[in-house]
Amino acid sequence: MKECEDQMSHLKKENFNLKLRIYFLEERMGHMSTDDKEDPVKKNVELKVMCSFSLRVFVCNNNIY
């Protein structure tokens, strides 16, 4: 009987710890909105476009073909 009580106590503590971990992970994910997730991709595309445009301007200004 004592073993069952010890095991139940251990499982309850483990369950509580897992619920707490889930809570904090969900809270962390909540702070990361969809805009935050897409922002690096958008920024990368913008930088590539700017780089390409700058290269074209440089080539045109220096008559490099």
**Nearest partner of 37 among 29, 25, 45, 27, judged by Cα:** 29
**pTM, two decimal places:** 0.46
Answer yes or no: are the C-beta atoms of 49 and 55 closer than 8 Å: no
Q: Give tens-digit pLDDT for 1-21.
A: 888 888 888 899 999 989 999
Residue 63 φ then ψ, to 5°: 50, 40
Answer yes or no: is pLDDT of 32 > 70.
Answer: no
Tabulate helix, strand, coil % of the chain (nearest 5): 90, 0, 10
